[in-house]
Structure 1
């Protein structure tokens, strides 16, 4: 029962508000407790004492953990997806720095990031870069250990379709992953290696605003795109269960 409540809390973070304030976390604690009681058909009153001892410590602390799962999904994909080089030569470092600046549009007066477009040069195909789907698949649809259902399957109603909040969190995580290459080599420590609310909430808010605007302008297309992301994630989960762990992203 507690396990289900904790996992559901993490799902709310990645589908409804990636950086929830204290009041929202408190409301979610009550919500996940009630849903867990319903699921287990065992009902316990959530007293203030129980909420303080149980929820605040064991559930709301998982807010950062939920975001960390996305961060961990991003880091192995950045170099392969965009072509960063692990070589330590000056030409390689120079190429990596130039690629980093290009993908985040850092040399523009007002940045218009390229990394999420299918065609990063022409900025065509909003949110259709292969890495976006790969992260969604890895973070929420890859089967767990001992045959456990991944969050995208266990809590499917929260991921169908993929929400704008989820997409904004993925964009923010890619931004974080790209920043690890800002000096021309992959960085594993220092301030830039931490995916914290202090450093990334403002970026998340910006990405969410842009995604909501895209969603409003292209409502029919947007709905289809987000549902396809969910369907492809489910397809990956099913194929992996059948013994195909290396299902490619392209064409999936």
Structure 2
């Protein structure tokens, strides 16, 4: 990219407390040295303890937001998070195809950290059929992966390998299947699956309740890095960034539930943008 700062677009819902959704995405983009933009799909009344209400925007208006960005700005990568319903999922897919969007990272947001549902039941098929095939990287956790495959999420780490290939068969170029929901191990292992095979990406677990927006943060960091490096390097670097943001989260005092990550842990410590 000849040193130009990449322009990265988030398509997602809101979080008034700033820990998830477009708020987390924009922080992650900035921390990775990218210029962040946002298209709002739904306005969510939530805090660190739970979701109180969701107002999904008109699908055509979501499409108009996407048009407004692409018709004026060179978009180097796109991160898709909460889409809320089937009509919005279809509108996003149609617009991204129309504009020839590149480097799409899809985080199939379905349930908030509090357990509150963020995706209508009838929208799963639209996400699977319309958005998943557009993704350069699909980043589901185990419950989300199970929903996409129409199965129960009671998987072992060995079973994850087979399921990663099943997810790849849905059409994305690569799948990052996150193993954070597996219990009983001090290590959390994610699997990066592509046509070339599976790469294991282990990381030590961090004991903290400040884990609100981890999926948003990781997928956004991957999108911010993709314009500058190969997918494997982008994923590795994004995981390192997420680990640091989790480890530093206790420096923040935000809310009485699942608190947010410290997205600017390195910048606020004067360490500069992470090198990888």
Q: Does the TM-score normalized on the shorter chain lie above 0.5?
A: no
Larger RCO, structure (CA 8 Å, separation 6 or more) = 1
TM-score (norm 1): 0.27
Q: Quick check: which one's helix share is greater?
A: 1
Q: Quick check: which one's strand share is greater?
A: 2
Bigger Cα Rg: 1
TM-score (norm 2): 0.25
